[in-house]
């Protein structure tokens, strides 16, 4: 059985939180946790329960696997990165992006 690297978990949470431009205060509020506890989690100085991991993963829009596993498949990284970018767009921009992506996909061999 593989042990959870809580320092790595904390680094992933902090990285994703920063990408989403969330403060520790805002993440704590959305998860109904204290700011101090979020800070401890991000430093890896406190472990987090499964319930807390689920709350945080939901708010950060990442999978539990992403938070808890040492290795992440490259495809998952690409999809998570793309998802983060898409979440920052308004609905009209998302629709334009999807139409653009379809054009690229349909013509990928000609690029």
Ranked by mean pLDDT, the top range of 33-47, 61-75, 78-92 is 33-47
pLDDT of residue 2: 61
Residue 1 has pLDDT above 50, yes or no: no
Q: Cα torsion for 73, 75, 79, 81, to the nearest 10°?
A: 70
Distance CA 94, CA 108 (A): 20
pLDDT digits (tens, 9 = 90+) for 8-47: 999 999 999 999 999 999 999 999 999 999 999 999 999 9
Distance CA 33, CA 1 (A): 29
CA angle 18, 2, 42 (to 5 degrees): 20
Per-residue pLDDT band for 73 (boundaries 50, 70, 90) equals low
Which of 6-20, 29-43, 62-76, 86-100 is predicted least confidently? 62-76
Domain-wise residue ranges, the chain = 1-71, 73-111
Ranked by mean pLDDT, the top range of 33-37, 94-98, 104-108 is 33-37
CATH number of 1-71: 1.10.260.40
């Amino acid at each position: 059985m593989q042990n959870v690297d809580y320092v790595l978990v904390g680094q992933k949470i902090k990285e994703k939180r920063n990408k989403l431009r969330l403060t520790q205060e805002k993440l704590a509020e959305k998860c109904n946790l204290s700011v101090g506890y979020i800070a401890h989690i991000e430093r890896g100085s406190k472990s987090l329960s499964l319930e807390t991991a689920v709350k945080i993963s939901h708010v950060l829009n990442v999978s539990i696997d992403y938070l808890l596993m040492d290795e992440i498949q490259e495809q998952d990284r690409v999809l998570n990165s793309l998802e983060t970018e898409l979440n920052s767009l308004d609905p009209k921009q998302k629709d334009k992006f999807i139409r653009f992506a379809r054009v690229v996909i349909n013509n990928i061999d000609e690029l």
